[in-house]
Every structure is written in structure tokens, then in C-alpha cells.
């Protein structure tokens, strides 16, 4: 088990102190900024692409989607959270990442729909398609 340290966050006139380890702090920073600061998922062995960039686990993608009450997300938002700015990648790399994220999202969304008895709806918002989850009435 890693040693516990104390980190203090200050937001305007509020101050929060948290005891945890380095992984805990990165998770908090990732949550607050909606960016991926965690290099690997401790629950699973990470998968790497040719550039040694971590492909997120299904658990991490599911956690990201479930942050909002209606699970709303776009492929662009998920990609940016886990990969960063894909416009800095070559066209081939960007297509590979897009395909990897879409395939992972499809599996995660199917799992959520099955477990929570609902279906996914979507609409176009500008250049992005936004998805949200709607539970079936019993």
C-alpha cells in the first residue's frame, strides 16, 4: 500500500484538505478538470498503442460516462478526456484512436443499457453527436 499524504485545495474562500496517495490526487484532478491525469488503471493491465499511449479500460470509460445524471457524452468529449487534442496527431493515428474509442464506447453503452434497462438516444449538436441514456418505464 502506498503512503498517504495530505493535499490541500483552495477554491476562492473555501479550503479542502484530503488525505490520499498520488493516484488519489490524480483521480481528483481528473475529475475536477475532466482530463485524464492517470497513466494506468490499477484494476486492469493497460493496453498500449504504437505511441505508448494508454487505451482506457472499459471501467474507466464507464466511470466517465456515468459522471452526469443522464450519462450524456459525445465521442469528441470522451476522446479529448482520454487522449487529448487529436488534431496534433497524424490522420492515421487520429482515425485509429477514433475507431478504438468508438468500439470501446459501443461495448460500454451496450453494457449500461442491459444492466440499467434503458436505451441510448442521440442528437446532433453542431459537428458532434451527443448521446444520453433514457431508462425504460416499468
Read out DSSP for 37-84?
--SS-TTSPPEE-TT-PEEPPHHHHHHHHTTSTT--EEHHHHHHHHT-
Count CB neighbours of 43 within 10 A.
9
Domain 44-135 has CATH 1.10.10: yes
Question: Measured at the alpha carbon of residue 137, what is the angle toward residues 132 and 138, in degrees to the nearest 5?
Answer: 140
Supply the pLDDT for residue 43. Answer: 44
Per-residue pLDDT of the chain (138 residues; tens, 9 = 90+): 455 677 777 767 777 777 777 666 666 666 665 554 444 444 443 344 445 556 788 888 999 999 888 999 998 888 888 887 778 778 888 888 888 889 999 999 999 999 999 999 999 988 888 999 999 876
Supply the pLDDT for residue 33. Answer: 58
pTM score: 0.60
Domain ranges of the chain: 1-33, 44-135
Give the span between the Cα atoms of 93 and 98, in whole angstroms: 9
Amino acid at each position: 500500500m502506498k503512503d498517504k499524504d495530505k493535499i490541500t485545495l483552495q477554491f476562492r474562500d473555501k479550503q479542502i484538505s484530503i488525505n490520499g496517495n498520488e493516484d488519489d490526487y490524480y483521480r481528483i484532478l481528473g475529475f475536477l478538470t475532466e482530463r485524464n491525469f492517470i497513466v494506468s488503471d490499477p484494476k486492469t493491465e493497460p493496453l498500449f498503442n504504437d505511441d505508448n499511449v494508454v487505451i482506457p479500460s472499459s471501467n474507466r470509460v464507464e466511470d466517465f460516462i456515468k459522471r452526469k445524471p443522464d450519462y450524456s457524452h459525445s465521442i469528441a468529449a470522451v476522446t479529448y478526456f482520454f487522449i487529448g487534442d487529436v488534431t496534433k496527431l497524424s490522420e492515421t493515428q487520429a482515425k485509429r484512436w477514433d475507431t478504438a474509442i468508438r468500439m470501446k464506447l459501443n461495448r460500454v453503452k451496450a453494457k449500461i443499457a442491459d444492466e440499467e434497462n434503458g436505451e441510448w438516444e442521440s442528437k446532433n449538436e453542431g459537428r458532434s453527436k451527443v448521446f444520453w441514456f433514457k431508462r425504460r418505464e416499468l
